[in-house]
Amino acid sequence: MNETSVPFWRDERVLQWIAQIVFLVAVVAFLWYLYHNMITALAQRGLLPSFHFLSLTAGFDIGEHLIPYSRSSTYGRAFLVGILNTIEVSFLGIIFATILGIIIGVMRLSTNWLLNKLASLYIEFIRNIPLLVLLVFWYTGVFLQFPRLKEAKILPGPTILSNRGVAMPWGKPTATWHLYLYILAVGLIVAAIVWWRLTLIGKRTGRMPLVSVWSTLTFLGIALLGWVGLVLFAHQAPLALDTPQIKGLRTVGGLELTPEFMALFSGLVFYTAAFIAEVVRAGIQSVSKGQVEAARALGLTGFQTLRLVVFPQALRVIVPPMTSQYLNLTKNSSLAVFIGFPDLYSVAGTIHNQTGRAVEVTVLMMAVYLSFSLATSVFMNWYNKKIRLVER
């Protein structure tokens, strides 16, 4: 058989390249057509794509901002405020959803009939309703239905519940706060050294001590010592308790959380927790019973079995779906716009309304969400690889 005997119009490689070039030309032509239409339409309105508007004065207020922001700030700054708000609510949401999800997932596996049924009822209910409906219900049906500030419900603490939101006691940094931060840094370094030394000892002797427990205890001990030391010698604790009080039409002091934030946060947490619970349950159930029995036969205690045998194996099953749940939560935080929390999507919408720059706003917004997704999946892939090495 001679390869040159195949004429080029029947040579598969040539045909594949021709097909690809045709495909590329078609796609590019189609995209160019869309782009051409868009540019023509935009040129008519005098809005040719450019990002100069980001340095113009925004002129609108944003209810909640983590960085200084006012009406006279720029659109770019407004965008940043939105991004930070999204990050804030996603970060807190992920932490609390994980905790609640693990609790419900373990309840779901419990041999206690009541806990088991309650957990599955919860999961089945939440998983079959849209998040947006849940969010609206939390907002208009729960947090806005709290009494007015004059008749506010005051829980012990004092935590003030009213239709203006939730205000709770919070630590307020005093003059010694900066000093205390240095002490915490020292504690962190010492804890890291303890971690490193114990791991070394563990590797040498073959009996691994409770590394994370000891280093955490070291850190907490130094933090406590520092606190006591500051009170004794500088006569001022690094944080003073700041309690909220009702003053006229608003609350003063403490940590104030708006109803919008609370509704979004609790909606995201309660919704995602149901999905995380299923992930956790599946992960724990994936560890075969023989593993536990073998561990017990080797003489490991119940806690050791959990820590050394069940948990590492379950984690491997749990991490990939958990990643997608975290990503979902971050993406779902964009529903905040419906209840008026100024997240990235909501701020972007306002900017679009004011400037009419649909293309630029869409591109920026999508780029930010995409980089969140990319960052999370890069981190999770790294973590996944790391725990996979434990395997053998």
Partner 1 sequence: MMNREPEQYTEGEVLAPPTERYTILGWLHKNLFSTWYYSLLTLVTLYIVYAILKPTLIWAFQQAEWQVVVVNLRLFMVGQYPADQIFRIWLALHLLAFTAGLAWAIWLPKARRLGAFLLLIPLALAALPFISTTSKINWVIFAVAALLGWALGIWQPRRMRRPLLILLLAYFPILIFLISGVEPILKLVKTNLWGGLLLTMLLAVVGITVSFPLGILLALGRQSKLPIVKLFSVLYIEIIRGVPLVTVLFMAQLMLPLFLPPQIKIDNVLRAMAGIILFAAAYMAENVRGGLQAIPKGQHEAAWALGLNGFQTMVFIILPQALRNVIPVIVGQFIALFKDTSLVAIVGLLDLLGIASTVLAQPEFIGHQREVYLFIAMIYWVFSYAMSYASRRLEVALGVGER
- Which chain residues interact with partner 1 by CB under 8 A? 16, 19-20, 23-24, 27, 34, 37-38, 40-42, 111-115, 118, 124-125, 127-134, 136-137, 140-141, 144-145, 331-332, 334-335, 337-338, 345, 348-349, 352, 358-359, 362, 365-366, 369-370, 373-374
Among residues 183 and 327, whose Cβ is nearest to partner 1? 327
Angle between helices 311-332 and 75-109 (to 10 degrees): 140
Closest CA to 56 of 79, 35, 84, 36: 79
Please list, residue by residue across 277-296, b when 16 or more beta carbons sit within 10 angstroms of its beta carbon and e when fewer do.
bbbbbebbeebeeeebeebe
CA dihedral 365, 368, 371, 372 (to 10 degrees): -110
Strand pairing report for 250-252 and 245-247: antiparallel
Minimum CB–partner distance for residue 155 and partner 1 (Å)? 14
Minimum CB–partner distance for residue 43 and partner 1 (Å)? 11
Minimum CB–partner distance for residue 185 and partner 1 (Å)? 36
250 φ, ψ (degrees, to nearest 5): -145, 170
Angle between helices 311-332 and 358-389 (to 10 degrees): 180
Minimum CB–partner distance for residue 106 and partner 1 (Å)? 12
**Residue 307 C-alpha from the chain's centroid:** 26
Minimum CB–partner distance for residue 105 and partner 1 (Å)? 16
Minimum CB–partner distance for residue 38 and partner 1 (Å)? 4
Among residues 211 and 317, whose Cβ is nearest to partner 1? 317
Among residues 13 and 204, whose Cβ is nearest to partner 1? 13
Q: For residues 159 and 246, what is the distance between their CA atoms, to the nearest angstrom?
A: 11
Beta strands in 8-113 (DSSP E): none
Among residues 54 and 364, whose Cβ is nearest to partner 1? 364
Q: Give the count of beta carbons closer than 10 Å to the beta carbon of residue 84.
A: 17
Among residues 139 and 219, whose Cβ is nearest to partner 1? 139
- With beta carbons less than 8 A apart as the criterion, state whether 341 and 89 touch: yes
Minimum CB–partner distance for residue 139 and partner 1 (Å)? 9
Minimum CB–partner distance for residue 21 and partner 1 (Å)? 8
Among residues 38 and 231, whose Cβ is nearest to partner 1? 38
181 DSSP assignment: H
Q: For residues 234 and 228, what is the distance between their CA atoms, to the nearest angstrom?
A: 10
Among residues 221 and 356, whose Cβ is nearest to partner 1? 356
Among residues 145 and 212, whose Cβ is nearest to partner 1? 145
